[in-house]
Structure 1
Amino acid sequence: MAREAAAAELWGPPRLLRFEGRDGEATTLAIADRDAAAWAEAIDARAGLATLPGLALCLRLLALVELLARAPALAGLYRIGPEGAEFHPALIAAAAAIPLDAAARFDAERLQGLISRSIPAEA
């Protein structure tokens, strides 16, 4: 979806997401990077960022892409190229199973631990 949006130059606007905490503290997340905005625009068009499932999908996908940039141990579990992205099912399952932290990021060690339990060592 994001590749199609980028090819059509539908980058999408920068977005600010504000979450009110139970303690009254607010957390604001900015989706300002051009590629991240394209992902958000594509997800908004398909699933709707005004819906909880659409917002969750957007934040989890952006968190996964961010994680891949800082977790070299995951390199064999995905491929991103001009034709699109492919992810190992265990990577997607782990990203769907663990929570995001307060900064909307995945805990790399926790995610890798979950994956290591789901993929046999000889794989």
Structure 2
Amino acid sequence: MARIKKPAIIQVGTAADGTRTYLVDVSPEALPTVRRRDLENAWERARAAALAEHWGGPRLFCFRRPDGGWTDLALADSDACCWASAIDRIVGMDTSYGLALCLRLLALVDLLAEAPWARDHVVLKRDGASLDPSLLAAAARLPLTRDARFDQTRFTEALRHLSLPAPSGAATGALS
């Protein structure tokens, strides 16, 4: 019996200038959850890539929406490109799991930059930063938003369910 090949969920192309483009048949919200330990490993590997100055090229993502429209996302920031390149080397971003791992890592970094309460879950040390396991667990399993970020209100609720003290401002949803 012949095996029927399913169409790829992600198609990847590389332009002459090195820019990678990902055509993704699902929206960011539909990407799978990842394992917490994989997200933690991705954090460490991406940090090591940045310290080694293994910069990556720009990446463009075109996500097909359930209504037939598209969500476009561009990574041009040198740090984000470096981190995406590290994830690509570790697990490959041509799979839904690898892409989900990368976008969750970048969404977590964005959350740490945007939400002052999230920084309470990071321990800065001489050799880098370590993330609270509950923060990683929430980032590994919460869905991404349509623009591949985390919803701060849902994130604080998830942390509360993981038996962490609720961040200040969580009750109003007015986090910034």
How does the TM-score come out when normalised to structure 2?
A: 0.64
State the structure with more CA Rg. Answer: 2
Partner of 2:130: 86
The separation in 2 between residues aligned to 1:45 and 1:82, in whole angstroms, is: 26
**Unaligned 5+ residue runs, structure 1?**
none
Partner of 2:6: none
Deviation at 1:63, TM superposition (A): 0.3
Superposition pairs for residues 1-123 of structure 1, below 5 Å? 1-79=45-123, 83-121=127-165
Q: Larger % of helix: which?
A: 1
Greater RCO (CA < 8 Å, at least 6 residues apart): 2
Deviation at 1:82, TM superposition (A): 6.6
The separation in 2 between residues aligned to 1:53 and 1:28, in whole angstroms, is: 19
Q: Deviations over 1:39-81 (max 9, x none)?
A: 0000000010111111000000000000111111122211356
Q: Deviations over 1:76-95 (max 9, x none)?
A: 21135673331111111111
Runs of 4+ displaced beyond 6 Å: none
The separation in 2 between residues aligned to 1:14 and 1:90, in whole angstroms, is: 31
Structure 2 vs 1, CA of residues 38 and 81 (structure 1 numbering), >3 Å: closer, same or farther? farther
The separation in 1 between residues aligned to 2:133 and 2:162, in whole angstroms, is: 10
Q: Could you say what the CA RMSD is over the residues aligned between the two structures, in angstroms? A: 1.6
The separation in 1 between residues aligned to 2:141 and 2:54, in whole angstroms, is: 30
